[in-house]
Amino acid sequence: MTNYTTPAQTRIGHVHLKVADLDRSVRFYCDILGFEQVANLGSAVFVAAGGYHHHIGLNTWESAGGQPPAPGTTGLYHFAINYPTRRDLAVVLKRLLDSGWGIDGASDHSSHEAIYLHDPDFNGIELAWDRDPSYWKPWYGATMAQMPELNSALDFASLLAELGEPANPEDLASLARYT
């Protein structure tokens, strides 16, 4: 068993987050990001997409009214929500823009496109769309010195064009600082 390698089909099944305000978090994950609430246990809510049992668990068991961890402490940096198509990533970006929810950054990582933000409890989230695996190879064995050539600014206009209409100039102006 010492030579065991995790199978390629292995996936992270779900993430479970401690939150300060359950209703506020449900509004964010369901109303803005578009997840479906699949269970409500009073002090915990589970949300999912596509009939999965749950992708994200939210609870106030030890955190009701709590504060986010202070900067400089350990903990979750971010988790990624991978969308099946580039258009799906564009839909969620548009929902964020329409709701007034801010983003923290964005990048074209060559292997995938990513939008970074925080939820209401400052849990970091990466919203992503993966390119075909043939684009992933340069990341294997990459060094920090190679990061600038593997990353570039996300083309928001091209991403929003996936929605079949020209991007709103006000939306593009609000995203300009991330390009």
What residue ranges define each of the domains in the chain, with the CATH number in brackets? 13-63 (3.10.180.10), 77-179 (3.30.720.110)
Tell me, what's the pLDDT at 16? 96
pTM value?
0.89
pLDDT-based confidence at residue 10 (cuts at 50, 70, 90): confident
Tell me, what's the pLDDT at 21? 97
Tell me, what's the pLDDT at 1? 61
Q: How does pLDDT run across 121-159, given as a tens digit for each residue? A: 999 999 999 998 888 777 777 777 777 777 889 999 999
| Token digits of residue 128 | 């992503």
Max distance between CA atoms of the chain, in angstroms, equals 57
Tell me, what's the pLDDT at 127? 97
3-state secondary structure 54-65: CCEEEECCCCCC
CB atoms closer than 10 angstroms to residue 24: 14
Task: Over range 105-118, report the average pLDDT.
Answer: 94
pLDDT higher than threshold 90 for residue 166:
no
Distance, CA of 151 to CA of 138 (rounded, Å): 11
How far, in Å, are 25, 34, 42, 138, 145 from residue 88 at the CA level?
21, 11, 31, 25, 32
Q: How does pLDDT run across 58-102, given as a tens digit for each residue? A: 999 999 999 998 889 988 899 999 999 999 999 999 999 999 999
* Helices (H), ranges, 32-138: 86-99
Contact status, residue 126 vs residue 81, Cβ threshold 8 Å = yes
Distance, CA of 134 to CA of 10 (rounded, Å): 19
Tell me, what's the pLDDT at 147? 76
Task: Over range 1-13, report the average pLDDT.
Answer: 84
